[in-house]
Amino acid sequence: MDLAVNSSAQGAVARASTQTKTRPANRPRAPRRIPMVAKLAYRNLFHDRLSFIVTIVGIVFSVVLVAIQSGIYLGSEKKIAAILDQAPADYWIVPLGTKSFDDPSPLSGRERHMALSVPGVAHVEDMVVSFARWRKPAGGTNTVLLIGSEAVSDRPLPWNIADGSRGALNAPTTVAIDKSYFPDLGITAVKDQAEINGVNVEIAAVTRKIRSFTTLPFVFTNIEEARRLTGIGQNQATYERVLLSDGADRDAVRNEILRRLPDTEVLTQTEFVKRSQAYWLFQTGAGAALIAGAVLGLIVGIVIVAQTLYSSTKDHINEFATLRALGAGAGYIVKVILMQAVLSGLIGYALGISLAMGVIAAAEDTKLTVVMTPQLAGVLFAITIGMCVFAAISAIIKVVRIDPAVVFSR
């Protein structure tokens, strides 16, 4: 009997022991503790709500200004190169001294046939670009940029047609314009009529989001109609779009075209795009103004964040001195300040980029083209964090110079 009781007791102890060993494994893990550096940074940042709001407003202002200015710059690059990007070529034959795509002057008229006779050239396509006078149906005039291209093309112009069709432009006296230019040109819909250089034309197609950097409306038509409206010869063009055969020696073809056409320039696609962008963005000063605006926004953000962090450090100088007296190194306190700066940057960037995206969305159907890319968003994030860290330098200098004995003199 005693043996049975002892056996039962031993079994109960064994089961209890097993349960005791397995119970901790089933117990949920304790939540990880927030590092003390993060806690101190968080409390210092939110201790003075007014200073915190001023800091965030400054960062948001900086992020929005830099984002919009940079977005307009990228949008300007995109608009300047829009036509060239939609009709890419291996080479462009342009009049000597051409500054940009929308700096047109006619070629002599023999360029196409001369280029076609060069070994390695597969196709040459005419393009006519010219300024023209547009008379509105209700009266008044405006200047437009008339673009004539061939209907039989691997990349026919225009694109993004919202109403009408490209085929409709093959008919005489027909043109296509962008919807955003309706108010400027006095047009309301397809089938409306106006005058170009004194010739009646009809709107056969309407495009969307094809806007020029110079604000002059693009007006598209077929190559024959463009020649007739501008009064140039039947063989003349403004630019020649050259496509090469597979395996052609690019340098040899270019040199041969230049030898046969000494009064022209032969530019690659990239060279023509870069030349056009450089002219409008830098030679005219437009790009410099956009860059200056972005830099100004960055400076404003740095000043506001630096002032706030310095004031916060000064207000908590006794607490920092106490930490130093308790054995905390200067590096530890520097981490607290840097954490404050990073937290400010994260919050300000999140709010700022959200506001900037709202502004970009609102400008979607206007003449202002603002571009936001993942690369630009990433650069803005790095700039914002870097700006806040840089702004923390003044506060860090103040902390490093703290004398721990200050705490005993209070």
**Per-residue pLDDT reduced to its tens digit, 343-387:** 888 998 999 999 999 988 888 877 778 888 999 899 889 988 888
Q: Looking at 56-65, 99-108, 314-323, which range is the least confident one?
A: 314-323
Nearest to 343 by CA among 379, 369, 305: 305
pLDDT value at position 142? 92
Binned at pLDDT 50, 70 and 90, residue 115 comes out as very high
Q: Which helix (H) or strand (E) holds 298?
A: helix 286-315
Task: Express each pLDDT in 167-191 by its tens digit.
Answer: 889 889 999 999 989 999 999 889 9
Percent of residues, the chain, with pLDDT higher than 70: 83
DSSP 32: P
pLDDT (average), residues 297-310: 76
Res. 325: pLDDT tops 80: no
CA separation, residue 190 to residues 77, 164, 202, 231 (Å): 30, 7, 8, 26
Main-chain dihedrals φ then ψ at residue 214, nearest 5 degrees:
-80, 0
For residue 201, the SS3 value is strand
Q: Which helix (H) or strand (E) holds 134?
A: strand 121-135
Res. 5: pLDDT tops 60: no
DSSP 20: H
- CA distance linking residue 294 with residue 335, whole number of Å: 29
- CA distance linking residue 379 with residue 370, whole number of Å: 16
- 56: CB partners within 8 A, 6+ apart: 344, 347, 348, 351
How many CB atoms lie under 10 A from the CB of residue 258? 13
pLDDT value at position 20? 42
Binned at pLDDT 50, 70 and 90, residue 32 comes out as low
Report the predicted TM-score, pTM, of the whole model to 2 decimal places.
Answer: 0.76
- CA distance linking residue 296 with residue 238, whole number of Å: 41
For residue 73, the SS3 value is helix
| Cβ(347)–Cβ(45) below 8 Å | no
pLDDT (average), residues 197-220: 91
pLDDT (average), residues 383-393: 83
For the chain, the straight-line distance linking the first and the last C-alpha, in angstroms and rounded, comes to: 78
pLDDT value at position 10? 45
Joined together, the tokens standing for residue 185 give 């040109």
pLDDT value at position 334? 80
- 290: CB partners within 8 A, 6+ apart: 69, 70, 72, 73, 76, 281
How many CB atoms lie under 10 A from the CB of residue 354? 12
Instruction: State the average pLDDT for the chain.
Output: 83
- DSSP-assigned beta bridge partners for residue 66: none
| Bridge pairing between strands 239-244 and 141-149 | unpaired
Binned at pLDDT 50, 70 and 90, residue 51 comes out as confident
pLDDT value at position 407? 54
